[in-house]
Amino acid sequence: MTAPAALDEFRAHCRAVLAEHAVPFHDRWEAEGIVDRSFWQAVGRAGLLGTGVPVEHGGGGEPGFRRTAVLSEELVRAGVTAPGIVAHNDVVASYLTARTTDEQKRRWLPGACTGELVAAIALTEPTGGSDLAGIRTTAVRDGDCYRLTGAKTFVTNGEHADLAVVAARTSDAPGTRGISLFVVERGTPGLHRGARLPTLGWRASDVGELEFDGARVPAANLLGREGAGAVALMGGLPRERLSIAAVALASAELALARAVEHARERHAFGNPIGALQHNRFTLATADTEVTIARVFVDHCIDALDAGQLTVTDAAKAKWWTTELQVRIADRALQLHGGHGYLDGSPAGREWLNSRVQTIYGGSTEVMKELIGRSLGL
């Protein structure tokens, strides 16, 4: 476990790096729908990428989740688009660390840590998302390569991605037993990038589409065993969902703090609007909910670091914190009134950013289904 003093030092470092390399440019990035490529290299040089990757492969050698949570909190605090870093650091880098051969580690991990290689994960298809068994992208063995055919959408880092973890069907086995994972690299013959997708929130997320027209992927880029892709994905989902929960909780805490400040400073009918009982009760409820969520997320972080975080608890953390983020963002916008509804206002931006959190990484409905099944229902 990382010592509190070391975490405080890391937090200050994150804050300084983001203040220099992200905050001054973020409005432009949001307008353009993508962050500058130089940002990835800057945060890589600063040691903010691959914190959990072993030192021998260029990472920080800190497999615990606390540093990841601190980085997420500082991204939120700085108003910087978080999903791209989360997808790269907490999803793809963790797969590449846990599921690759030594040769694959040497090829991909150092670049992912320096920011020279930007990573993405491509699961969702135009015809479906949460149902892995419904994946239609196929991979057919052809000598020393696989031919990938199909399409993926809503790929975070889709345009910048130098490598993408892609799920494809390698057999007709029922359910998810025929799913395999491949690392598809930039420049792969038959790989085409579709249009950048304009999103309501997190506008600099670089969300795009990938198309595979018989894309020739070397057999050496198979991630793990053929047919074991679903098992690998399920093993990584608790961490991915906790990453989303960390962003959601940090966002809810920030929105609440701003709402409380506004309630103290804004006056109506001769008094601060926080003196009105309805507003005071609304904020008291939100503060209680955030406090309880913080306790549970901290519990889940400890469980993950101990190798004991269950799929069920990760699902609980993901759906509860993301729905909480949406509720608090909505309450905060209501409290800010017309000023909050202005384009670019902090309250309005948070309101827009919050909405997708209950959708990606497994929707709230899917999370509740998982929890219900754990109850034997």
Residue 218 is encoded by which pair of tokens? 């070397």
Coil vs helix vs strand at 8: helix
Check the CA dihedral 230-232-236-240 and report its sign: negative
Give the residue among 110, 4, 121, 122 at the shortest CA–CA distance from 50.
110
Coil vs helix vs strand at 11: helix
Given the residues 30, 73, 211, 240, the one annotated as active site: 240
| Helix then strand then coil, % of the chain, to nearest 5 | 55, 15, 30
Q: Which residues contact 336 (CB under 8 A, 6 or more apart)?
A: 259, 262, 345, 347
Q: How far apart are the C-alpha atoms of 235 and 314, rounded to whole Å? A: 12
Coil vs helix vs strand at 215: strand
103 as an active site residue: the answer is: no
Do 98 and 108 meet the contact criterion of CB atoms below 8 Å apart?
no
Q: How far apart are the C-alpha atoms of 377 and 374, rounded to whole Å? A: 7
Do 350 and 273 meet the contact criterion of CB atoms below 8 Å apart?
no
Do 252 and 259 meet the contact criterion of CB atoms below 8 Å apart?
no
Q: How far apart are the C-alpha atoms of 139 and 170, rounded to whole Å? A: 5
Q: How far apart are the C-alpha atoms of 307 and 102, rounded to whole Å? A: 23
Return the bridge partners of 272, or none: 267
Active site residues: 240
